[in-house]
């Protein structure tokens, strides 16, 4: 069964094609037949498409003006040129989509219907950086071949286990009854890395107390106890929690009413400020890409340095806030683009957390890290870098729905 996965982030589109005959006896995720990524942050003028298949790699610049055209260009590399792996799109059995926000309507993967699409569309106001990108992917597939089944896999599903006292906000209860609650996001990633951490450390997952840090352009931190999510930093929308690439994370809610009262801003203006003009971008005034901000910090840019310091401090604060939900800590796990690739950020985050009993092995940390324990031998808390495999997790759920 050929399963295409489209994983749209706030600033990227990651895709891959798996050929799965059975899930029996599969311990490690298999390599996909084809992989592609579109990064919309590398330039203000274009997006960068990278495709790898058949031991070949290609790179193309895509116009920023029409993102859906970029998706179509990416998909065409499946059946054209040196990265060709199928003869026709009809060779694809199912397409799986990561969907960030499903509200309180969906708690598990589901075949996409017009009703499901409408729900994703209705929730754009709660996930403005993501849900439009999911619809772009779904509609691109429909235009190519409307007969291919499509499946939505929701980022919110893993966090359904958060207890009421953790998911209900201290505002009038009637708003909880209307659907305002902590949903949590990046659940596909948090669930996968928690499972992979248990495999690396060898105990069973249901005996571990973990804090998993998904640090990319979007960032979230989750407390995983006995294999289930018991707390997470993102909330009603992906805006809550730690500072991110262009998102503010948690702020005093009175700032919003102050901006409305003093500057006459409406909801759309405030949404734009908090979701697209804040975070690393807002403080550094250089970029929402941490790599660029770190480069400028090294050159002596004061605002870039401040942005990095706030970013690290906010992450440390949220990590500590997760401890009461766990009653202890066995492992601190880093994943996603920043978490997996920035030794500097990992080191700085761990630097002030020694009181938890964790000790980072700087030599291990500075090496290539993938699915590795980078704590010292005498550390009371293990520190891991785990390569998130959201795409594989999505593919498995698609396989399960069609079987």
Active-site residue set: 155
From CA 153, how far away is CA 398, in angstroms rounded? 8
Sheet containing 209-215, strands listed edge to edge, beginning at the edge strand earlier in sequence: 228-232, 219-225, 209-215, 331-335, 382-385, 372-373
Crossing angle of helices 254-263 and 267-276, in 10° steps, is 130
> Under 8 Å CB-to-CB from 341, ≥6 apart: which residues?
none
> Under 8 Å CB-to-CB from 178, ≥6 apart: which residues?
none
Q: Which helix (H) or strand (E) holds 48?
A: strand 46-53
DSSP state of 11: S
Crossing angle of helices 302-321 and 290-298, in 10° steps, is 130
From CA 322, how far away is CA 318, in angstroms rounded? 7
DSSP state of 246: S
**Of 345, 379, 341, which Cα lies nearest the Cα of 360?**
379
């Amino acid at each position: 069964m050929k399963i295409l996965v489209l994983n749209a982030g706030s600033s990227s589109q990651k895709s891959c094609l798996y050929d799965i005959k059975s899930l029996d006896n599969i311990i490690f995720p298999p390599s996909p037949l084809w992989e592609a990524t579109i990064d919309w942050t590398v330039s203000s003028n274009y997006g960068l498409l990278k495709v790898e298949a058949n031991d070949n790699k290609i790179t193309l610049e895509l116009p920023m003006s029409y993102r859906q055209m970029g998706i179509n260009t990416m998909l065409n590399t499946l059946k054209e040129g040196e990265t060709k792996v199928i003869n026709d799109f009809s060779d694809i059995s199912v397409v799986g989509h990561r969907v960030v926000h499903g509200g309180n309507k969906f708690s598990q993967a589901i075949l996409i219907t017009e009703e499901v699409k409408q729900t994703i569309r209705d929730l754009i106001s709660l996930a403005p950086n993501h849900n439009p990108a999911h619809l772009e992917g779904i509609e691109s597939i429909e235009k190519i071949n409307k007969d291919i089944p499509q499946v939505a896999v929701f980022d919110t599903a893993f966090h359904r286990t958060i207890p009421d006292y953790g998911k209900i906000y201290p505002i009038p209860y009637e708003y909880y009854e209307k659907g305002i609650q902590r949903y949590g996001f990046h659940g596909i990633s948090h669930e996968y890395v928690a499972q992979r951490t248990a495999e690396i450390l060898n105990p069973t997952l249901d005996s571990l107390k973990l804090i998993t840090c998904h640090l990319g352009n979007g960032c979230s931190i989750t407390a995983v106890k006995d294999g289930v999510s018991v707390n997470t930093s993102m909330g009603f929308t992906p805006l809550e929690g730690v500072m991110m690439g262009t998102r503010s994370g948690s702020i005093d809610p009175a700032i919003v009413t102050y901006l409305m009262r003093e500057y006459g801003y409406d909801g759309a203006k405030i949404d734009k400020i908090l979701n697209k003009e804040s975070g690393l971008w807002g403080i550094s005034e250089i970029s929402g890409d941490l790599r660029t901000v770190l480069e400028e910090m090294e050159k002596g840019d004061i605002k870039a340095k401040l942005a990095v310091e706030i970013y690290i401090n906010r992450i440390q604060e949220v990590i500590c806030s997760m401890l009461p939900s766990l009653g202890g800590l066995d492992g601190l796990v880093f994943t996603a683009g920043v978490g997996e690739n920035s030794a500097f950020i990992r080191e700085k985050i761990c630097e002030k957390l020694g009181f938890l009993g964790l000790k980072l092995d700087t030599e291990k940390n500075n090496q290539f890290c993938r699915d590795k324990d980078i704590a010292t031998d005498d550390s009371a808390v293990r520190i891991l870098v785990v390569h998130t495999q959201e795409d594989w997790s999505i593919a498995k759920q698609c396989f399960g729905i069609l079987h």
